[in-house]
Amino acid sequence: MVGRRRGVFLAAALAVKLAALCGCSGATAQEQPKSAPICGSDVIAHGVAKRVIDGRTFTLDDGSEVRLAAIEVPPLETGAAPGAAAKAALDALIGGDDIVLRRADIATDRYGRLVAYAYAVRDGEELFAQGELIASGFARVGDHVGSRPCALELLKSETAARAAKLGLWADSHYDVLDAETPTDVLARRGRFALVEGKVVSVRESGATIYVNFGRRWSEDFSVTVLKRNERNFTAAGLDLKGLAGRRVRVRGFIEARGGTGQSPWIEADYPEQIETADVR
């Protein structure tokens, strides 16, 4: 029943509703067996999804505004197809449905919106909104998931969608950036992006660990991790010092450091922001 409903949903609701917006091929996500929710803990609210605002924000019938945890979607801008496609995808997923909200690591954002994992209830079963958006290529895994099992599952779905060039992955604007071309990375300053390259060195200075992707600290891309957060990476099985010489993919918001603002970097606070991309 779950597989048939997912197939109908992805092939009909998404393909028909979104083809004009993003040129999707109509490919579907892989079938997943029924199991207990892997993302989100206890239920914090129920309601009906009344209005979808953008690809990760909607309101419930009681007026509460909800922000989907653990994902990033393209901005909803005039004439920007990926943002409009993400909004349409979320509307197709949850619009008018009964919704179960499950607890995320962060309860609310700075605007007072509920931050949660959302499940649409259909035929007595729960359809995971974030999981479907990522698997269909309308969203990327964000820089904070919290639960390691949830992060691994979402990253796996994102990798499959990227390989199949579903949704936003068919747009070169969302290609993984090359750490060896720091000017291209710097051009995305203030934006969420994925950056991949070979780690040249890992150094400590004061309270910060620097994961360097080049030898020119004033120009090349780097990732910073506060030493107080290192134990979280270790607990997740990620040895930061052991990244030297390995190919790594990093996700987060691009920032610039240095007086001239020529050195792009990402601050990594959570283990899900760093993936090893090589094969040993």
Strands 71-72 and 98-108: unpaired
Contact predicate 177/185, CB 8 Å:
yes
Kindly report, residue by residue over 187-244, the tens digit of the pLDDT.
Answer: 999 999 999 999 999 999 999 999 999 998 889 999 999 999 999 999 999 999 999 9
Q: Kindly state the percentage of the chain with pLDDT values over 70.
A: 84
Report the CATH number of the 2-170 domain.
2.40.50.90
C-alpha 141/C-alpha 155 separation (Å) is 6
pLDDT score, position 76: 87
Same CATH topology for 2-170 and 176-276? Answer: yes
Residue 83, pLDDT above cutoff 70: yes
Q: Please, what sign has the CA dihedral across residues 167, 170, 175, 176?
A: positive
Average of per-residue pLDDT across 54-71: 97
C-alpha 20/C-alpha 261 separation (Å) is 39
Q: Kindly state the percentage of the chain with pLDDT values over 90.
A: 77
Task: Point out the least confidently predicted range of 120-134, 148-162, 204-218, 247-261.
Answer: 247-261
C-alpha 2/C-alpha 6 separation (Å) is 6
Instruction: Spell out where 136-243 has E strands.
Output: 140-141, 177-178, 192-198, 201-205, 208-212, 222-226
State the pLDDT confidence band at 35, using cuts at 50, 70 and 90. low
What contacts 7, CB < 8 A, 6 or more positions away? 28, 31
Task: Point out the least confidently predicted range of 68-82, 120-134, 138-152, 218-232.
Answer: 68-82
More confident residue, 143 or 21: 143
pLDDT score, position 78: 59
More confident residue, 82 or 194: 194
Contact predicate 95/49, CB 8 Å:
yes
pLDDT score, position 278: 78
**Domain residue extents for the chain:** 2-170, 176-276
What contacts 188, CB < 8 A, 6 or more positions away? 177, 254
Fold category of 176-276 in CATH? OB fold (Dihydrolipoamide Acetyltransferase, E2P) (2.40.50)
pLDDT score, position 69: 98
pLDDT score, position 259: 54
Amino acid at 99: I
Mean pLDDT, all residues of the chain: 88
